[in-house]
Amino acid sequence: MLLGGTETVATSLEWALANLLNHPRVLKKAKTELDTQVGYHLIKESDFAKLQYLRCIISETLRLYRVGPLLVPLLASADCTIGGYDVPVMAVRVFPAGTTLVVNAWAIHIDPTLWEDPTSFKPQRFESGRVGAYNLIPFGMGRRACPGDGLANRMMTLTLGSLIQCFEWERVGKDKIDMTEKTGITMSKVEPLELMCKARPILNMHLS
């Protein structure tokens, strides 16, 4: 549980920072929002409701780079039809428990029938608040959804917000950050993220 609750958030934060450094206008807008809405105190949970654009950045990161592309497998308890396909409850000796169903969240998150320009990083797509209930499912859905959904969102908002609020970030070199993904059960970057940072005045003020 500890590994699942920390590695996934850390990997998502790495993807978020990489995207922000490749999209400086998005980073600047997030920084302006934090400076305006939070001011000179360090970000805390009571500020989250005022940080709509930061939350859009997190949603867009989880859409494009969900750490686990596949949701937890489900078992059919009764014969059913899904998307025109018949799913039977199998009763054979090798697999007596039934048909296993796996939801490909990654495919849903980049489906061009659900998302405009689905492979581009565009946090503004969430600003309207009009997103289909099952179009964005980074934590699963229904009774089998991840129980750590709320905690993970709070951890990401607090950590990413603090990193943007307290530091100026730069890429190492002039080239854009390589966004190539590893293949496997979890989806992390092929090349670990390397950045340069320096403290912003707000951090110096709180440390002095």
The pLDDT > 70 percentage for the chain reads 92
pLDDT at 181 over 80: yes
Mean pLDDT, rounded, for 82-108: 71
Tell me, what amino acid is at 31?
K
CB 147 within 8 A of CB 4: no
CA pair distance 64, 117, nearest whole angstrom: 11
Mean pLDDT, rounded, for 101-113: 92
CATH number of this structure's domain 2-67+121-207, picked from the four choices 3.40.309.10, 1.10.3720.10, 2.40.40.20, 1.10.630.10: 1.10.630.10
More confident site: 99 or 124 = 124
CA pair distance 88, 73, nearest whole angstrom: 16
**Which three-class secondary structure state does DSSP give residue 60?**
helix
pLDDT at 80: 77
Tokens found for residue 88: 């039977």
pLDDT at 68: 84
Tokens found for residue 18: 């990489």
pLDDT at 6: 65
Helix-strand-coil percent breakdown of the chain, rounded to 5? 45, 10, 45
| Residues placed in the known binding site for heme | 146
Helix 149-166, helix 24-37: angle, nearest 10: 90
| Residues placed in the known binding site | 146
pLDDT at 105 over 80: yes
Tell me, what amino acid is at 111?
D
Half-sphere exposure of 42 (CA within 13 A, CB side): 13
Q: Where are the domains of the chain?
A: 2-67+121-207
